[in-house]
Structure 1
Amino acid sequence: MEADQAAAIKESETCIDLLVIVLDTNPSQHIVRQNQQNLTQILEAVIAFGNAHLMQKAQNKLAVLSCSHHATNFLYPLPRRQVELRQVDGQYEAFSLVEKTVKQQLGSILMNAPRLSAPCESLLAGSMSMALCYISRLQRSVAPGVKMHSRILVLTGSNECASQYMTFMNVFFTAQKLGIVIDTCALDKTLSLLQQGCDITAGQFLKVTQLDGLLQYLLWVFLPAPQIRHKLVLPPPPKVDYRASCFCHRELIDIGYVCSVCLSVFCKYSPICTTCHTIFKNPGPLPVKSKKKRKRTSKCNSRSSKYCRLNETVY
């Protein structure tokens, strides 16, 4: 028993849990346009959740990305600049660093963001691709004999981003190949594309019904590591809608046409693929099957062939 406990402690010391949070800060979100204070409330919950992840184990690592309608930026950690940190009495230095860095960076990004004349969709697929690149870079710098378990948590209140369908699929299958879990916390609407990504990478999808309990939802569902979630009582996974989005109208379809070269999906037949510009032949009419001629048979059993030819009967 003591040997098993010692082995578990040794394994935990040589294992790193990396959490990358992709926070949607697009001002076009309905939840933000409804009340500007909601973004502040979401940010406070994300900071507390990130600090709770760091508090679980000294080897844990955290990264926070801001996703908007025009760019993706790192809120924490900063690669080359250091934030002027003023020590707060009674607060752990690492927690204070996360809080000050995230708030200062996000405030600077929102102040310098271009003004919106019309609602724009968030660049979630690009932000998740940047998160995968960051995880891959850290994976290469891990010391030999040390394992790193990585996962991505997406918090968004945006609508369905069907125009980024191909990029989403590339991100999902790349994460599946690398063993990276993708979790999604939807703050406004149910997103079928992100549901597919959670199902493909064995992640957890949750739609928050009350924003006041966001921190409780994050600590309950997304704080435990994916390796121990099967031992907990978590919300049942939703029914995943695996319909594809057509590339012509950006709508989910049940039956469509697929390009044999780039696998683009269209709801109507097109002689030229708008993605890879491949030219297809027009489908001709269906071939008509020719009817087989019936054989002639004779009911004559006479030995005289002449008599049989005179009394032939066609059936």
Structure 2
Amino acid sequence: MEDNNDESSLIVIILDSNPSQRIIRRNPQHLTQCLDSMCVFANAHLMQRAQNSIAAVACHHHAIEFLYPSPNSQTKDIRQIDGQYEKFTQVEKTIKLNLARLVNSAPQIGQQAESMLAGSIAMALCYIARLQREKPQGSKLNARILMLTGSLECASQYMTYMNVFFTAQKQNVVLDVCALDESMTLLQQGCDITGGQYLKLPQTEGLLQYLLWVFLPDPNTRNKFTTPPATKVDYRAACFCHRELIDIGYVCSVCLSIFCKFSPICTTCHTVFKTPAPITSKAKKKKTKA
């Protein structure tokens, strides 16, 4: 097989570091385990091909920041570990230093806060779009996003989710999701829309094995492997009034907002609708005797 040096592969890894996640509240060591597994996965991707590249993004409850490549110049003086490839040392230590700085600077919260998952996908798409604009003419960049999260479903970010899902589909960016704790319906929809892989992790102890087995191969190569069977995608929408997934609802004919109950005024675009008249049953005609 001929090796095309003008083709490269980029993986943007999004790590949900929100301490409000149930899996982290039960055992804070799970975040360290996810971090170590993510670094090994990133180095395995770089080892596959010299042209491959990675980026890492931390998603917190108050901010979204790049862990690698680092915008912070303080990580440039990282010393190489004896016997380890210099690039691997740079990736691993840069990610860990930046994540520690982000977690230590995070404000304390008294209640559970949502992770900014949809915003982190948008930031990853912007980063990919910039690299695609800057790439040399004639070269090809195959980009995909991998998200590691144990958060609950965030229906309040429904519109942002849909925007980033269809933007990724338009940019030919595949979205992969590894759910560490709870099943996430909206992210499952995003994987199906972009042609990615969604996996609800059976146990956190085997995280690294699942990352290398399911998510390390590119989407074209996965068809040749035996991967976990795809689950049925739940395409329910979230209502704009209560931010809950619904089976049947009302849709605004102007802005396509979804509501679980009828409202004479759309709260999104303020369009006024006529109140539907009650359904009346027609009186049956009396039969006339011949």
TM-score (norm 2): 0.95
- RCO higher in 1 or 2 (8 Å CA, sep ≥ 6)? 2
Measured in 2, the distance between the counterparts of 1:81 and 1:291 equals: 83
Question: Could you tell me which amino acid in structure 2 is paired with residue 14 of structure 1?
Answer: D
Quote the offset at 1:264 in angstroms. 1.2
The answer as to 2:89 corresponding to 1:96 is: yes
Q: Provide the aligned length of Structure 1 versus Structure 2.
A: 289
The answer as to 2:227 corresponding to 1:234 is: yes
Aligned match for 2:56, one of 64, 70, 77: 64
Residue 73 of structure 1: aligned partner: 65
Q: Could you say what secondary structure the match of 1:153 adopts? A: strand
Measured in 1, the distance between the counterparts of 2:193 and 2:81 equals: 43
The answer as to 2:180 corresponding to 1:187 is: yes
Gaps of 5+ in 1: 295-313
Contact 2:7 2:141 in 1 (8 A): yes
Quote the offset at 1:278 in angstroms. 2.0
Question: Could you tell me which amino acid in structure 1 is paired with residue 140 of structure 2?
Answer: K
Measured in 1, the distance between the counterparts of 2:74 and 2:52 equals: 20
Quote the offset at 1:288 in angstroms. 7.2
Measured in 2, the distance between the counterparts of 1:273 and 1:117 equals: 34
The answer as to 2:217 corresponding to 1:224 is: yes
Query: Between the two proteins, what is the percent identity of the paired residues?
Result: 62
Aligned match for 2:124, one of 131, 140, 159: 131
Q: Could you say what secondary structure the match of 1:276 adopts? A: coil
Write the deviation string for residues 138-193 of structure 1: whole angstroms up to 9, x where unpaired.
Answer: 00011111111110001000000000001001111111111110000000011110
The answer as to 2:15 corresponding to 1:55 is: no
Aligned match for 2:257, one of 241, 264, 282: 264
Quote the offset at 1:287 in angstroms. 7.5
For residues 1-315 of structure 1, what are the structure 2 equivalents within 5 Å? 5=1, 8-9=2-3, 11=4, 13-79=5-71, 81=73, 83=75, 84-286=77-279
Gaps of 5+ in 2: none
Question: Could you tell me which amino acid in structure 2 is paired with residue 46 of structure 1?
Answer: M
Task: Specify the structure having the higher radius of gyration (Cα).
Answer: 1
Quote the offset at 1:285 in angstroms. 3.8
CA RMSD of aligned residues (A): 1.9
Q: Could you say what secondary structure the match of 2:73 adopts? A: coil
Contact 2:80 2:90 in 1 (8 A): no
Q: Could you say what secondary structure the match of 2:143 adopts? A: strand
Write the deviation string for residues 214-269 of structure 1: whole angstroms up to 9, x where unpaired.
Answer: 00000000000111111111001111111111111121111100111221111100
Measured in 1, the distance between the counterparts of 2:280 and 2:142 equals: 56
Q: Could you say what secondary structure the match of 2:223 adopts? A: helix
Measured in 1, the distance between the counterparts of 2:72 and 2:28 equals: 31
Measured in 2, the distance between the counterparts of 1:80 and 1:107 equals: 13
Question: Could you tell me which amino acid in structure 1 is paired with residue 100 of structure 2?
Answer: G
Quote the offset at 1:210 in angstroms. 1.3
Measured in 1, the distance between the counterparts of 2:122 and 2:17 equals: 17
Measured in 2, the distance between the counterparts of 1:132 and 1:67 equals: 14
Question: Could you tell me which amino acid in structure 2 is paired with residue 177 of structure 1?
Answer: K
